[in-house]
Structure 1
Amino acid sequence: MNGTQILNIFDFDVEEEPVSIYPYSPVYRVKYGDQDVVVKRTQSRAESVMSYTNMLKDKGINVVTPVKLQVDNPQKYEDINFVVYPFIEGEKYSGKDNEIYEAGKMLGQIHSYSHVSNEYNLLEYDVYDFNKEEVEEGMEAIILHAEKAGIRIDPGLKTKLLGSVANQQELYDAGLPHVATPHDFKANNLVLIPEPYLIDPDNAGWIPRIFDLALALLLFHNEHEEAPDRVFTIDEWEIFLSGYKESIVLTNQEKVFWEKAKQHVFLDEVMWLMAEYEEDWQKSSQQKLFMSLIHFMIDSANYRL
């Protein structure tokens, strides 16, 4: 992908190919007058995401929204949408209790501002079609990556994943409460100033509320150098929830389906992560996080709502 051309569509005068500040996708930090901005890709429903995040900002949520330029923002390049956001200065998350509490409080506030219907026409969650063959293939890749790193995978993981496949129709039919949410709420998408500031809302969607909560539980520390290389401890999870519940009252139905929701989100979001990125198994912090996630999947009964 040509970074120079991407920047030029926004009228940034760049001749040398820029270097992405994020290893997994193109994210370019550039100057716009005396302001530092970030150019990054966003999803196909770009206008829906921008309308949604503008609403959050109007409600007082610290979240990036498009910078006003002389050209349209966002813009499309080779059928991919890109957007220019302000670059937010601040401290990185480090796993302190007050940071965890403030993060949970922010997610609760975000969920509380969701309408009862998908009024912003965000992408609707519809991933209920995993099968046993996909689990078999995913586990083969995970076991191979782990063996190369000198690690043995507990066979209980495969048993749990295969069991979670059978829960999908029940979860789909349950009619769980849905929310509009950024759906990628984790530490490396937050900057502390000192309150959390959300710098990547571009995965926004219309999602079962407890699925979004489970994603935060599972992957809050993913891809973050200063964060602990593990999932939340039970005490940390309770701190996160205490902040979250300042704005949200979860239903009895959500509590009943919580265990199955955790397993489903692992199947959807974590299995592919561990299977797809072999190089992460060679990184000490990600390797430890993966092992923590496996232990979590095998027994997470104490992580309650």
Structure 2
Amino acid sequence: MPEHPVSDLAHAFGLVDIAEKSLSPWSPVYRARVIPRGHTEARDVVVKKTAEARERAEGMAAWTRMLMANGFPVVAPIGLDAPNPQAIGEDWYVVYPFIEGRPYAAGDDVAALGDLLGRLHATQVRTGIVGGLRTYSWPEATRDDVDADLAAFREQLPRVLGAEDAAKSLAALHSLADRWWDHSLPALRAADDEHALPYASVTSDYKAANVIFSASGPTVVDPDNGGWEPRLFDLAMAVVLLHNESPSAPARMMTAQEWNDFYSSYARHISLTSTERKLWPAALDHMAWEEGTWALEDNEDAAYADARQGGYLRDLATMPMERFQLPAA
């Protein structure tokens, strides 16, 4: 995979050792060892691509360091004699500490993931830090784009799901597309125009695969898509993507009970406003269309044939958003 030879990464960051093979099939993420600034012994680290430009890479570093200083468990760039993060060619890379731990187990850990997300959304972020984060961008899609996506699904889903399951999923997707375009998206945009959607710092990729569970609890290990966005959207995105690309997760989305456990823990830190509660179904539609359909389209046929990832995709394809109701206030 490497977009840059690992020898370039070793030289740039002063690494004493680096693995040749990426830890991730989707992006360059390498185990390595380095001597931190002010230390004499090497420690285990991870080298990975981060944000795409200097402003965002440095903003991400400032944000994760602030989170860590405030007691939120997240990886942050370690101090090196070399710049960290830094550009290597046209790409920006960062060195994080390697977190030893175990992967997610739904029955034991789903409440802890809800608690962690609530803590993140509740963390106060200084204005100077917010300015370095990516801001939310509303989709620029037209109705023709929506219809083109539906046409692509009519070709894809019978092949990967079979005719009977595909028919059910296509009906759900057509219904979702109409709701999202006609009602949910306009309602959310109107609320944002009225400054009625509270914003928070988010990873914008909150899923089980991006959290490691150690003896001290869960730690976010992939914060590099972080931004400043409506917290309601990040909560809804977690519903849609929590079990995506997560080898240790069940072969499905969350159950209603798991969602209840997740949200109950989240709500210890965040009380949604009355407007947010009213717009929750719209937020679910928004993330189901924006992120859920992306996951369905992005996965190749082999992923649908995989017992774990394929089970998740088959559940997602039915768009079971009614499963994820908010408990009574």
Q: Tell me if structure 1 keeps the 8 A contact 2:30–2:47.
A: yes
Paired amino acid for 1:7: A
Deviations 1:151-210 (A, max 9, x none): 242222122123202332321220211111112111111111141111111111011111
Q: Does 1:6 align with 2:29?
A: no
More helix by share: 2
Q: Structure 1 pair 39/230, CA: closer, same or farther in 2 (3 Å)?
A: same
Deviations 1:224-278 (A, max 9, x none): 1111111111111111111111111110000111101111111111212211222
Q: Tell me if structure 2 keeps the 8 A contact 1:37–1:85.
A: yes
Distance in 1 (CA, whole Å) between partners of 2:150 and 2:19 is 38
| Residue range with higher mean Cα deviation, 113-122 or 130-139 | 113-122
Q: Does 1:159 align with 2:161?
A: no
Q: Does 1:174 align with 2:191?
A: yes
Q: Tell me if structure 1 keeps the 8 A contact 2:59–2:129.
A: no
Deviations 1:92-151 (A, max 9, x none): 111124x11111111111111134968422111112322222223323333433333342
Distance in 2 (CA, whole Å) between partners of 1:225 and 1:54 is 29
Q: Tell me if structure 2 keeps the 8 A contact 1:93–1:192.
A: yes
Q: Structure 1 pair 222/301, CA: closer, same or farther in 2 (3 Å)?
A: closer
What's the TM-score once normalised by structure 1's chain length? 0.92
> Structure 1: where are the runs of 5+ without partners?
none
Structural mapping, 1:67-216, within 5 Å: 67-97=78-108, 99-115=109-125, 119-121=129-131, 122-151=133-162, 152-153=165-166, 154=168, 155-166=171-182, 167-175=184-192, 176-194=197-215, 195-216=217-238
Distance in 2 (CA, whole Å) between partners of 1:247 and 1:266 is 24
3-state SS, counterpart of residue 311 of structure 2: helix
2:305 alignment counterpart? 282
Offset of residue 17 of structure 1: 8.2
3-state SS, counterpart of residue 46 of structure 2: strand
Paired amino acid for 2:45: V
Of the candidates 267, 292, 304, which is equivalent to residue 245 of structure 1?
Answer: 267
Q: Structure 1 pair 268/246, CA: closer, same or farther in 2 (3 Å)?
A: same
Distance in 2 (CA, whole Å) between partners of 1:116 and 1:54 is 12
Q: Tell me if structure 2 keeps the 8 A contact 1:160–1:298.
A: no
Same amino acid, percent of matched pairs: 31
Q: Structure 1 pair 299/21, CA: closer, same or farther in 2 (3 Å)?
A: closer
Deviations 1:42-81 (A, max 9, x none): 1130111111111111111111011211100001123221
Deviations 1:12-41 (A, max 9, x none): 367x98211100011111122431111111
Paired amino acid for 1:86: P
Of the candidates 49, 60, 69, which is equivalent to residue 49 of structure 1?
Answer: 60
Distance in 2 (CA, whole Å) between partners of 1:186 and 1:162 is 27
Q: Tell me if structure 2 keeps the 8 A contact 1:135–1:162.
A: no
Q: Structure 1 pair 298/116, CA: closer, same or farther in 2 (3 Å)?
A: farther
Q: Tell me if structure 2 keeps the 8 A contact 1:118–1:180.
A: no
Q: Tell me if structure 1 keeps the 8 A contact 2:161–2:314.
A: no
Paired amino acid for 1:28: Y
What's the TM-score once normalised by structure 2's chain length? 0.85
3-state SS, counterpart of residue 95 of structure 2: strand
Distance in 2 (CA, whole Å) between partners of 1:300 and 1:204 is 28
Q: Structure 1 pair 119/173, CA: closer, same or farther in 2 (3 Å)?
A: farther
CA RMSD of aligned residues (A): 2.1
Distance in 2 (CA, whole Å) between partners of 1:281 and 1:141 is 16
Of the candidates 240, 250, 257, which is equivalent to residue 218 of structure 1?
Answer: 240
| Residue range with higher mean Cα deviation, 246-255 or 148-157 | 148-157
Q: Tell me if structure 2 keeps the 8 A contact 1:135–1:158.
A: no
